[in-house]
């Protein structure tokens, strides 16, 4: 029960001028757990993701991360090289737009292999074999390993981004609307893929989404944000089936039932 947290944030506050993007936000994440941050545009959820991942500094509060050696590291005071090393290996970031993360002029295999090479892999054959293995895990035909991403569909690009991110076996992955902008059928496949990969590999995920259905399918726990504040948090099914805060009730009641 008292298993140590993987990521622990407390008192995060960040204002853009008069606009509060984060107000005294706390968040804990345990190994292997999926935490969804939901809310509409401008609620501060993407800002929270950026602050949790060290991309943006809060004005107050701190984010602590338990490194693989078990030591707690302050994400915002650790040296830049150490933070970048985390982002290259132990962490991953999946963007809504895969083009932000992928190198469009580099083959699929090169894209997947980059993080391995950044970690010091210097054996072409091994890197290529790992790339092919990961393409298959994300259901991309191994024959496409030498193709450029620009020949891939939107869903394939997103899966390629996931392969590129997971190749180093990160323990924590940040996802920003990973299924946004995709066709519904493509979304379903991607959700299923994310769910099974994350469960099988025991990866912890902080998932930002405005789509409550995505949160319900993937997340163990959920945080609802409005104007920079966490207005409600709890188990995903609790919050979505028994919403208490007016804003959560509005969000839940606004979802079209299929």
Partner 1 sequence: MSTMEGYNFAYLDEQTKRMIRRALLKAVAIPGHQIPFGSREMPLPYGWGTGGIQVTAAVLGPQDVLKVIDQGADDTTNAVSIRRFFARTAGVATTTDTEAASVIQTRHRIPEKPLREDQIIVYQVPQPEPLSRLEPSRAETRRMHALAEYGLMHVKLYEDITRFGHVAISYDYPVMVNGRHLMAPSPIPAFDNPKMHHMAALQLFGAGREKRLYAIPPYTSVVSLDFDDHPFRTTRAPHACGLCGATDSYLDEVVTDDQGGRLYVCSDTDHCETRREAGHTGSESPLQEAAQ
Partner 2 sequence: MNTVMLRVEDLAKRFTLHLQGGVQLDVLNGAGFEVRAGECIALSGPSGAGKSTLLRALYGNYRADAGRILVRHDGAMVDLVTATPRQIVAVRRTTLGYVSQFLRVVPRVSALDIVADAAGGRAEAHTEAAALLHRLNIPASLHGLPPATFSGGEQQRINLARGFIHGHPILLLDEPTASLDAANRDVVIAMIREAKSRGTAIVGIFHDAAVRDAVADRLYQVAPYQQAA
Whichever of 147 and 220 has its CB closer to partner 2, that residue is 220
Residues 234-253 within binding reach of partner 2 (CB under 8 A): 234-235, 237-238, 241-242, 244-246, 249-250, 253
188 binding partner 2? (CB under 8 A) = yes
* Rounded-to-integer distance, Cα 31 and Cα 188, Å: 25
**Beta carbon of residue 243, minimum distance to partner 2 (angstroms, whole number):** 9
- Which SS3 state, helix, strand or coil, does residue 237 take? helix
Is residue 223 within 8 Å of 52, Cβ to Cβ? no
136 binding partner 2? (CB under 8 A) = no
Q: What is the residue whose two structure tokens read 């509005």?
A: 250
**Beta carbon of residue 245, minimum distance to partner 2 (angstroms, whole number):** 8
DSSP β-ladder status, 221-226 and 204-209: unpaired
Q: If we measure between CA atoms, which residue out of 76, 53, 51, 60 comes closest to residue 24?
A: 60
* Rounded-to-integer distance, Cα 227 and Cα 212, Å: 18
* Rounded-to-integer distance, Cα 159 and Cα 182, Å: 12
Whichever of 57 and 250 has its CB closer to partner 2, that residue is 250
Is residue 35 within 8 Å of 29, Cβ to Cβ? yes
**Beta carbon of residue 252, minimum distance to partner 2 (angstroms, whole number):** 10
Residue 125 touches which of partner 2, partner 1, none (Cβ within 5-8 Å per kind): partner 1
| Contacting residues toward partner 1, per CB under 8 A | 80-81, 84, 88, 103, 106-107, 109-110, 113-115, 117-119, 122-125, 127-128, 146
Q: If we measure between CA atoms, which residue out of 30, 72, 87 comes closest to residue 205?
A: 30
227 binding partner 2? (CB under 8 A) = no
195 binding partner 2? (CB under 8 A) = yes
**Strand partners for 25:** 12
Return the number of other C-beta atoms located less than 10 Å from residue 171's C-beta: 21
Among 87, 128, 189, 210, binds partner 2 (CB under 8 A): 189
Whichever of 132 and 222 has its CB closer to partner 2, that residue is 222
Residues that bind partner 2 (CB under 8 A): 1, 30, 188-189, 191-192, 195, 216-217, 220-221, 234-235, 237-238, 241-242, 244-246, 249-250, 253
């Amino acid at each position: 029960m008292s298993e140590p947290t993987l990521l622990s944030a407390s008192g995060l506050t960040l204002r853009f001028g008069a606009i509060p993007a984060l107000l005294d936000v706390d968040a804990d994440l345990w190994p292997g757990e999926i935490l969804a941050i939901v809310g509409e545009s401008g609620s501060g959820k993407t800002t929270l993701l950026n602050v949790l991942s060290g991309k943006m500094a809060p004005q107050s509060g701190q984010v602590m991360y338990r490194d693989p050696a078990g030591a707690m590291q302050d994400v915002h005071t650790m040296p830049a090289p150490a933070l970048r090393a985390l982002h290259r290996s132990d962490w991953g970031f999946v963007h809504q737009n895969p083009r932000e993360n992928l190198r469009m002029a580099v083959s699929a295999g090169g894209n997947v292999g980059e993080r391995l090479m950044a970690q010091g892999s210097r054996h072409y054959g091994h890197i290529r074999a790992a790339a092919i293995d990961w393409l298959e895990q994300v259901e991309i035909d191994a024959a496409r390993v030498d193709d450029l991403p620009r020949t891939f569909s939107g869903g394939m690009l997103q899966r390629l981004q996931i392969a590129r991110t997971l190749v180093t076996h990160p323990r924590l992955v940040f996802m920003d609307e990973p299924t946004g902008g995709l066709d519904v059928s493509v979304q379903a496949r991607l959700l299923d893929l994310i769910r099974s990969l994350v469960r099988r590999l025991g990866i912890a995920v902080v998932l930002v989404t405005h789509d409550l259905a995505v949160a319900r399918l993937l997340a163990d726990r959920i945080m609802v944000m409005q104007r920079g504040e966490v207005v409600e948090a709890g188990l995903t099914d609790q919050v979505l089936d028994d919403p208490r805060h007016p804003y959560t009730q509005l969000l839940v009641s606004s979802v079209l039932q299929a």
